[in-house]
Structures are given as structure tokens and as C-alpha cells.
Amino acid sequence: MAKIIAVCKSEEKGTRKKAVAEGILKEDHGLVGDAHADCCTHRQVSLLAMESIDNVRRLGFEVGPGDFAENLTTQGVELLSLPVGTKISIGGDVLLEVTQIGKKCHNGCAILREIGKCIMPREGIFARVIHGGPVRAGDRIKIGKVDNETETFSIFKLTEKGCSSIDDAVAKESPLTIILNNQELVTLLCSPKDLKYLAVGFLSSEGFLGSKDEIKKIIVDNERGVVRLETVEDKEFTQDVLFKRIISSGCGRGASFYSAVDATSQKVKSQMKILADEIFMLVNEFQHSSEVYLATHGVHSAALCDNKSILVFSNDIGRHNAIDKIFGRCLLENILTNDRMIITSGRISSEILHKVAKRGIPIIISISAPTNLGVRIADNLGITLIGSVRGKRMNVYTHAGRIATDGK
């Protein structure tokens, strides 16, 4: 497992750094209390592999973490193989972006004077802090792969300390046209990932698709942003369908193909129970699962969970899309949704409740808040609606009997 071996800092440049139990990485600054931390440089944090330090030890030198002036000593990651722009996630909160590989040797640095050898210029890398937080020895390292979902722009960042030029990652937005049985149905604005899941989930949510067995063929054109789906039986729909819809409150130009009168769902009946502490644990994991959000703060997330873990996770610029991607994957991969929960980062409104009710999901949880109609519909449909989950607090709006606080 790739992990942090040591967190090191020093009050002066050109000196060995000392390991500390825990450090705080500050966004667009670096390791708090370290001499190299600076908002006006792209070299805010330095990283060096423990494997490189071990190679020097084998030459007979007594060296360890921090001796080569690195902030973070890593293990299990080939740092030099990471191209500039790579995102590095540490623990649950921290996100770094690689900005430089190696450097020119600092004349007269402590380790060079003492042993005549310094590996940092050849084997160290540097990064800027995109999202800050605590970091400590043992924290897990994940190498992010979000290039297809983000685009980097050169921007000017203004703070109380002045103006600096930096590269900033922004969430990508793309159109997706869904063609059902050679009839163009709708164009959604979405994140350009998992388009097949989104198309299937959307068609299922809107009543055009009942099961996986109804699908004859799916063709995905990622470059043009088109998904063509053919059903076993030709499902015809009139042009009236296109005008009989609710323009939803969702991000990404949400639309639902039913009228307000038609928007009814069967009541959810479930004996499912969950402990309050299990909700807090799941939401905490949920909030730390999206590398795209940590990089951009520009997407919504959704997850299907049981009492113990996240089973399916998705991101999208639209909160409806993120949920439809979950349901599309569940339908195609035969993942059960009954007696399970949905966690979402977005507002819980009426159309979201109808989506989850169709899948027999008894509990929906959000770190955001519901609308009044959302609360009324959740109550009518027998769904437990939980909102504003923060730390060890949450608001239970409907059917609180499914939540246990004492293990009963």
C-alpha cells in the first residue's frame, strides 16, 4: 500500500527537516510552519521516496526521513514516474498536484555538506496544495486519474497577501444526446464519464426502460457525446412526450418526462434499520471519495450504500445525473437496490424522491437540505429523508423510526 512514512518540516531553508507527529497542509501555501511554504511558488510541498533514502543507507550513510529536506517521505509510489499535473490524494482530505520533477541543487545545503551527497535534486518531486488538511505518518496515498473529467486553466488568484498566477483544475461539462430506437429523445449536460450508465439510468428513471432484458443494443460515441440504445421491442413515443415534462431543479439542465399530475410512485415498504453512527461513518467516507470534487469543487456525488459500506459511487456536474449513473450501473450489472440507501451531495427535491422510490430505496441521505415538496413526498412515499449531515449531526425529516441511536 502506498503511504506516508513521515511528515517533516524546518524553520530555516537549507537545513535538515525534523519529523513531526502531524502536520497541516494549507491550500495554496504548503506545510504550515515550514520554511518552504509559500503561496507565491509552485514548489509548496516536497516529496521523496523512502526507497531512495534506503538506497543511500546501503552506501553506509546514516540518513532518514527529513534529512534531504523533503516535507513528505513516501513509500510504495514511484514518484519520478508521475508526470507534472498528476493529482495525489493523501488520507481523506488532502489533494496535491505535481508541479515539478527534481530541481537544481541548493548550494551548501546541510546534507550535502555533511555526507557529500544529496538525492533530492534527482529523485524528489514538488507539488502545490489544491485542498488542505491534516497529514500524518501512515496516511494512505492515492494517485488520481481525473484528467478526462477536468481541464486546467491558467488563472490569477487574489488573496489578502496579493495576486499570483496558478493553474487551476475545472470540471468538464459536455452534452450527451440520447437516441432511443433511432428517435432523438433528449440532450443532457453532464460530466463526460460513464455515459452508458447515465443514459440507461435516465431512461429507466423516466419510464422508457424497465429492465436490462429490454435492451437489445447500446452504442456509445464518447467523442461526439451520443448514446444510441435499441430495445428488443420497438418502443414508440409521440412527440407529445417531449412536451409533457417537468423542467427539474437539477444542475446540468435536468428534465423529467412526466407531468406534475403523473408524478406519482408506489410507497416504499421496508424493515431496514440503521444506526446513527453508521450514517456518520458512511457520510464521512462519501465526502472523501471524490478526487474530482477535491480538485475542482465543481461536481456532485452520489452513492448506493448498505449499512456498512459504499457499493457504487459516481460524480457528475448534475446531481440528478450522478444518481442516474448509479441506477444505470445497478440495472446493467444486476446490483440490487432494495433495502439500501442513497447518499447525495445535492439538494433533495421532489424528482429525486421519485427516482429513489422507483427502486424501492427506503432511506436517502444528503449533506445538503431538502425542499418542502421533497419532505412532503418522502413522507407520503414512506422514505426516510435525512439532510444536513455534518460531523455528528443530522436532521431527520421523515420516518425517523428507521434510525437507531442505541443499537436497538
**Catalytic center residues:** 251
Q: Which residue's C-alpha cell is 493553474? A: 167
C-alpha closest to that of 67 among 17, 122, 106: 17
Specify the 3-state DSSP secondary structure of 313: strand
Q: Which residue's C-alpha cell is 538525492? A: 119
Question: Residues near 276 by Cβ (< 8 Å), separated by ≥ 6?
Answer: 394, 403, 404, 405
Amino acid in position 88: I
Beta bridge partners of 33: none
Rounded Cα distance between 359 and 353, Å, is 10
Cell of 20: 513531526
Rounded Cα distance between 359 and 72, Å, is 46
C-alpha pair distances (Å), 29 with each of 46, 91, 96, 164 = 12, 18, 11, 12
Rounded Cα distance between 199 and 197, Å, is 6
C-alpha closest to that of 340 among 284, 402, 285, 267: 402
Q: Using the 8-state DSSP alphabet, how is residue 81 labeled?
A: G
Do residues 60 and 4 lie in contact, with contact meaning Cβ atoms separated by under 8 Å?
no
Specify the 3-state DSSP secondary structure of 352: helix
- Tell me whether residue 220 is exposed, middle or buried, using C-beta atoms within 10 angstroms of its C-beta: 0 to 12, 13 to 18, 19 or more: middle
Count of CA atoms in the C-beta half-sphere (13 A) of 291: 19
Beta bridge partners of 348: 370
Rounded Cα distance between 372 and 285, Å, is 28
DSSP-assigned states of every residue in 371-407: -HHHHHHHHHHT-EEEEEEETTEEEE-S-GGGEESS-
